[in-house]
């Protein structure tokens, strides 16, 4: 695994696409993932893998026979994620989340967990992500997003009928968790 310092430098160097200067704290990851019940979930998608802080939490919780697809556009992050998660049921996809549908083979997803910097993503691409995510999730499935702005809730409201928001103060900066279905 690449040194955390190297990954943080990469994060800051690409702030216009990463949207952050630090990775998610363990406390935020635990709180985010507490809104997902992984038991019985077989097809999981993560958007914005980064340093793998959320990926690690998912891998620790998911069923051994579940499949996890992780989308990430930053090549160095993808390479580090591939090394950190060599298991067959974790696939690192070095492509934008707006191409989600191309990797699903028409299969429905049980849950999507995202740390994408949606406010920085261009409107067209962002709307593709919302639309394709909504279409990809099965009837009972959830989309869980972490974000710094509560206002993102209103964008999700265009695609998801039910949105609950929570705040994690044990992260820098404090972060909202939107649970959408």
Ligand X SMILES: C[S@@+](CC[C@H](N)C(=O)[O-])C[C@H]1O[C@@H](n2cnc3c(N)ncnc32)[C@H](O)[C@@H]1O
Residues that bind ligand X (CB under 6 A): 17-20, 23-24, 47-51, 53-54, 71-74, 77, 96-98, 115-117, 121
| Sign of torsion over alpha carbons 111, 102, 65, 53 | negative
Closest distance of CB 173 from ligand X, Å:
11
Q: Which residue is nearest to ligand X (CB)?
A: 50
Closest distance of CB 139 from ligand X, Å:
25
Closest distance of CB 102 from ligand X, Å:
13
Cβ proximity to ligand X, 45 vs 180, nearer residue = 45
Instruction: Give the residue from 58, 66, 61 showing the smallest Cα distance to 24.
Output: 58
Helix 53-61 vs helix 75-84: crossing angle, to nearest 10: 30
Cβ proximity to ligand X, 59 vs 116, nearer residue = 116
Cβ proximity to ligand X, 16 vs 140, nearer residue = 16
Instruction: Give the residue from 24, 38, 30 showing the smallest Cα distance to 68.
Output: 38
Cβ proximity to ligand X, 4 vs 162, nearer residue = 4
Count, residues in the chain: 181
Closest distance of CB 70 from ligand X, Å:
9
Instruction: Give the residue from 153, 78, 75 showing the smallest Cα distance to 118.
Output: 153
For the chain, how are helix, strand and coil distributed in percent, rounded to 5? Answer: 40, 25, 35
């Amino acid at each position: 695994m690449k040194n955390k310092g190297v990954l943080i430098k990469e994060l800051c160097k690409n702030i216009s696409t990463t949207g952050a200067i630090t990775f998610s704290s363990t406390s935020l990851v635990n709180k985010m993932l507490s809104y997902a019940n992984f038991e019985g979930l077989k097809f999981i998608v993560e958007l914005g893998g980064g340093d793998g802080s959320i990926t690690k939490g998912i891998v620790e919780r998911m069923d051994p026979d579940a499949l996890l697809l992780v989308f990430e556009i930053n090549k160095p992050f993808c390479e580090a994620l591939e090394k950190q998660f060599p298991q067959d049921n974790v696939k690192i996809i070095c492509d934008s989340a707006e191409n989600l549908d191309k990797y699903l083979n028409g299969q429905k997803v049980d849950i999507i967990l995202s740390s994408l910097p949606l406010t920085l993503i261009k409107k067209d691409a962002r709307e593709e992500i919302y639309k394709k995510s909504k279409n990809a999730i099965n009837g009972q499935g959830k989309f869980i997003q972490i974000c710094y702005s509560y206002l993102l809730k209103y964008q999700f409201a265009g695609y998801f009928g039910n949105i609950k928001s929570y705040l994690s103060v044990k992260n820098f900066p404090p972060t909202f968790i939107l649970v959408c279905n």
